[in-house]
Amino acid sequence: MAEIQEPVIVLAGSVHSSYLALQALLRHRMRVAGVLGLSPAQSADVSGYTRLDALARDAGVPYSDFEDLNAPAAVETVRGWAPDVFFIVGLSQMVKKELLAIPRLGCVGYHPTRLPEGRGRAPVAWMALEGRSGASTFFVMNERADAGPILAQEAFPVSEKDYSADVERKLEAALIAALDRWLPRLKMGEWQAVAQDDTKATYYGKRSPEDGAIRWDWPAGKIEALVRAASRPYPGAFTFVEGRKMIVWRAEAETGLPYRGVTGRTLHHDASKGWLVQTGEGLLWLADVEFEAGAGQAAPKLRIGTMLGFHPENELFALRNRVSALEARIAELEKTLPRKKS
């Protein structure tokens, strides 16, 4: 354990957890020398993007926007603030060696899993998908993702019925608790980090919006888990109706009703529960659905018997018929063209 004077702190971030971390630093009257926030120009692909400028300036803390935290301008801004500790919370950009070397004590990262378990990408979605509990973890950053020594860790439960938004609420409460427990010690000059056990490390891979595609031949429980993981604040699990994308925001497996139907077809409608669909194994209620906006096109109407998703053989057969019809039409048009003289 190193004993230090009250450290000078800089924070960078782009989402609500970044905002909560800054609030905690200010609430504990830490020596915050500056704040960097992701520029709106880079916010399009950031789920839950949050501005930090007003909070910083209201507290009299210098603020600067950045697009790339590793760009020379951002690096020099951080260097000019001369931090002892650089908090980087809620930012997906990798932090390179030059930036890692600036703070006297180190860069502090944040990850919402029980590190060393769950290193990597999209942890909230993965935890919701698996119903796996997490922990708001602050750690000393190094050149390996989520692998540095742990400074504070506050566990939170995740149930098999939690949606991604539920997981986010729980991790944010745990984040505040972790900082409220750790920051007073940091303010008094304590810097104690415990190395992770790499032999226990597990890793999450990247998730993309395309991974929300529903396979109706899956069991109902697996589709329900996908809906929970892909739901707000993420783009949502989805299927197709008459060629139009339909997002499924909420779903629940049904175990009591004596229905049986063709996989992917709607079987029943209930005003409170939604649409009942046959899956590859079991039944699933679609409780909250929304059609993606179409240019000047009315959304399809769900009815009992509507077939969800794409079915390759049917689609290929329909496409073949369309091609045959086009070929026949072309042949008819060719007959009307003037013949070339030999």
pLDDT of amino acid 1: 47
Low pLDDT (below 70) residues in the chain: 1-4, 295-296, 340-342
- The two structure tokens encoding residue 337: 């063209």
- Read off the pLDDT of residues 180-196 as tens digits, 9 standing for 90 and up: 999 999 999 899 999 99
Place of tokens 């909250």: 288
CA distances 132 to 137, 146, 212, 233, Å, are 15, 18, 19, 19
Domain boundaries of the chain, sorted by first residue: 2-204, 209-329
Terminal-residue alpha carbon distance, the chain: 97
- Read off the pLDDT of residues 15-62 as tens digits, 9 standing for 90 and up: 999 999 999 999 999 999 999 999 999 998 888 899 999 999 999 999
pLDDT of amino acid 286: 98
Question: What is the CATH architecture assignment of 209-329?
Answer: 3-Layer(aba) Sandwich (3.40)
Please write down the long-range contacts of 65-72, taking CB distance under 8 Å and 24 or more positions apart.
65/36, 65/37, 65/38, 65/39, 66/12, 66/36, 66/37, 66/38, 66/39, 67/38, 67/39, 67/41, 67/42, 68/93, 69/12, 69/36, 69/93, 69/95, 69/99, 70/94, 70/95, 70/96, 70/98, 70/99
Please indicate whether the domains covering 2-204 and 209-329 agree at the CATH topology level. yes
Instruction: Supply the pTM of this predicted model.
Output: 0.88
Is domain 2-204 classified as CATH 3.40.50.170?
Answer: yes
pLDDT of amino acid 175: 98
- The two structure tokens encoding residue 144: 């390996």
pLDDT of amino acid 342: 59
d(CA 212, CA 263): 18
Which residue, 104, 136, 139, 142, is CA-closest to 123?
136
